[in-house]
């Protein structure tokens, strides 16, 4: 195959897909959780008619708006790149995979972009109830959007409701596709993850201002709302993650074995779990590992005697089933990404539990000694999401559609030069976007609310003529 600096079109296309998806995913879960938090804040403001809560909503709304813009524009790339870089994939699954994408646009994308515009620019032109309804519609849209995308991804990992016809997958049971059990588990996991991303951000911003005694009554409210969201989110992430791990043992045993760096099926009466390991694909074993007995069985089966299959056995099975070839994912990144994700999930749960405990003890206004940690915590859910995607997507290689289509057969017939140029361009643009987003978010977050009118004069405010004025 044609190569450039040792990279084939396949390598570069995979790298580009990872780049564009992961960058996009810095913004998406943020939007999902943040829209909900703002909708709650605005509901509180609406019910209490309290101007300080209205200001608070506006303030966080501005931060939301900054982030939303980047989320929208990076989302467009997602819709086009399946055809651009993955022609084989599009031809093979368009009948099925294209549908949830189209439904996402029809049911969610229009809704979000239209009603966010109405909410943001129409703040003085809409009645209060319509403004409140708009932000709830945005929140609903982001959730529906996430659902369809997860459904599409879940089908690639666990194809259901299809038949193969003329070398293509066609839909035979739409209901089975919509109720794909994988999709429901993952949606719970990702949606909770979205809550944590926004919650720890709002927590950090609120703690920052509480510490400096800015608008204390208002930021107490956002701190509480965010804290509850963080608690619910981290609990949801951990619980759904546990369920997902157990279903992976059944449906994607190779991926599960890679998560645990389990090369050989355990021979004893139970399965240990490795704490740390240095997996090596070359040696088909771990160069070093520390394991704890019984934990593996418990995590995978909720009992103390279950055993999952090891990578080497699965490789033999797959070769017998699908023909000769290497069916092992690249284990060490999968193993470590999985551990980083789980570790950060645990940290998020601990931090939110600790602050909930402080709240019960009446020490809400004082972020305490963990204050510096609280300020960097917004990074934790982002990193956890990043590692989660790396683990789940690398863990299912070499398949792009589990058991049906290999990634190598899905890639477009482009030259590596073409892909390298676009990859470089996307990196430049995306790094700039991240930089700008972080810069504007911190700048706006630190500025806080100035006085009674938090109106941000920098917001593009078109000056419309009054109602009924002669045009």
Partner 1 sequence: MTVDLPTVWFGLTALTFTIYFFLDGFDFGVGILQPFLARSEAQRRALIGTVGPFWAANEVWVILAASVIFAAFPLWYGALLTALYPLFALILLALIGRGVAFEYRSEVDHVRWRLFWDATSFVTNLLPAFLWGVIMSNMVRGLPLGVGGRFEGHVLGAFDLFTVLGGLATLSLFVLHGATYLLLRLHRDGTLYLRARRAALLWGAAATVLVLAFVYVGFVRSGVFNSLGLSQWLFPAAAALNLGLVWLALTLRRDGLAFASTGLTVVFSTATIFLSLYPNVLPSTLGETYTLTVRNSASEPTTLRLLSWVSLIFLPLIIGYQAWNYYVFRQRVQERDQAIPGGGSGD
Which residues from 122-151 bind partner 1, rule CB under 8 A?
A: 122-126
Please report how the helices 9-48 and 128-157 are oriented relative to each other, as an axis angle in degrees rounded to 10. Answer: 150
> In the set 117, 217, 325, 368, which binds partner 1 (CB under 8 A)?
117
DSSP 186-203: HHHHHHHHHHHHHHHHHH
CB 274 within 8 A of CB 260: yes
CB 234 to partner 1: min, Å = 31
Determine, following the binding rule CB under 8 A, whether residue 436 of this chain makes contact with partner 1: yes
Q: Which of residues 172-191 bind partner 1 (CB under 8 A)?
A: 172, 174
Residue indicated by tokens 């892909």: 419
Determine, following the binding rule CB under 8 A, whether residue 333 of this chain makes contact with partner 1: no
Determine, following the binding rule CB under 8 A, whether residue 88 of this chain makes contact with partner 1: yes
CB 470 to partner 1: min, Å = 9
| Size of site (CB under 8 A) for partner 1 | 86
Determine, following the binding rule CB under 8 A, whether residue 442 of this chain makes contact with partner 1: no
Determine, following the binding rule CB under 8 A, whether residue 471 of this chain makes contact with partner 1: yes
Both tokens of 39, joined, read 């909708």
CB 117 to partner 1: min, Å = 4
CB 156 within 8 A of CB 251: no
> In the set 4, 228, 414, 434, which binds partner 1 (CB under 8 A)?
414
Of 303-311, 344-352, 356-364, 463-471, the segment contacting partner 1 by CB under 8 A is 463-471
Q: Which of residues 60-79 bind partner 1 (CB under 8 A)?
A: 65-66, 69-70, 72-77, 79
Q: Which is nearer to partner 1, 275 or 461 (CB)?
A: 461
Element (H, E) at 4: strand 3-4
CA dist 319 and 401 (Å) reads: 17
Element (H, E) at 418: helix 416-447
DSSP 86-129: -HHHHHHHHHHHHHHHHHHIIIIIHHHHHHHHHHHHTTTTS-HH
CB 63 within 8 A of CB 16: no
CB 162 to partner 1: min, Å = 10
Both tokens of 174, joined, read 């739409």
Q: Which is nearer to partner 1, 112 or 185 (CB)?
A: 112
> In the set 47, 443, 446, 447, which binds partner 1 (CB under 8 A)?
443
Q: Which is nearer to partner 1, 320 or 465 (CB)?
A: 465
């Amino acid at each position: 195959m044609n190569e450039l600096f040792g990279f084939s079109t396949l390598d570069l296309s995979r790298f580009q897909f990872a780049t564009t998806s992961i960058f996009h995913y810095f913004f998406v879960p943020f939007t999902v959780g943040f829209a909900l938090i703002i909708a709650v804040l605005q509901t509180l403001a609406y019910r209490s008619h309290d101007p300080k809560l209205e200001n608070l909503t506006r303030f966080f709304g501005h931060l939301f708006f900054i982030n939303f813009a980047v989320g929208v524009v990076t989302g467009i790339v997602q819709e086009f790149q399946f055809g651009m870089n993955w022609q084989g994939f599009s031809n093979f699954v368009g009948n099925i995979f294209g549908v949830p994408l189209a439904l996402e646009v029809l049911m969610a994308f229009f809704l979000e972009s239209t009603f966010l515009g109405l909410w943001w620019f129409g703040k003085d032109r809409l009645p209060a109830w319509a403004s409140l309804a708009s932000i709830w519609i945005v929140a609903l849209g982001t959730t529906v959007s996430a659902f369809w995308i997860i459904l599409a991804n879940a089908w690639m990992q666990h194809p259901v409701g299809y038949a193969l016809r003329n070398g293509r997958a066609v839909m035979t049971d739409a209901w089975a596709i919509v109720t794909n059990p994988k999709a429901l588990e993952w949606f719970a996991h990702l949606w909770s993850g979205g809550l944590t991303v926004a919650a720890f951000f709002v927590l950090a911003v609120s703690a920052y201002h509480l510490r400096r005694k800015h608008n204390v009554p208002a930021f107490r409210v956002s701190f509480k709302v965010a804290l509850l969201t963080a608690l619910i989110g981290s609990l949801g992430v951990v619980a759904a993650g546990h369920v997902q791990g157990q279903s992976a043992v059944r449906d994607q045993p190779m991926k599960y074995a890679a998560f645990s760096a389990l090369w050989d099926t355990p021979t004893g009466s139970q399965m240990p779990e490795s704490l740390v390991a240095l997996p090596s694909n070359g040696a088909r074993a771990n160069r070093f590992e520390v394991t704890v007995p019984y934990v593996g069985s418990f995590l995978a089966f909720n009992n103390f005697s279950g055993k999952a299959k090891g990578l080497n056995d699965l490789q033999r099975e797959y070769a017998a089933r699908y023909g000769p070839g290497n069916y092992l994912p690249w284990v060490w990144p999968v193993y470590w990404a999985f551990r980083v994700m789980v570790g950060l999930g645990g940290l998020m749960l601990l931090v939110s539990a600790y602050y909930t405990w402080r709240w019960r003890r009446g020490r809400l206004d004082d972020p305490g000694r963990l204050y510096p940690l609280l300020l960097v915590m917004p990074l934790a859910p982002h990193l956890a999401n990043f590692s989660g995607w790396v683990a789940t997507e690398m863990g299912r290689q070499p398949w792009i559609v589990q058991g049906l289509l290999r990634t190598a057969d899905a890639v477009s017939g482009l030259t590596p030069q073409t892909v390298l140029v676009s990859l470089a361009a996307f990196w430049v643009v995306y790094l700039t976007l991240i930089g700008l987003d972080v810069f504007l978010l911190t700048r706006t977050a630190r500025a806080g609310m100035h006085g009674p009118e938090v109106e941000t004069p920098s917001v593009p405010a078109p000056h419309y003529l009054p109602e009924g004025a002669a045009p």
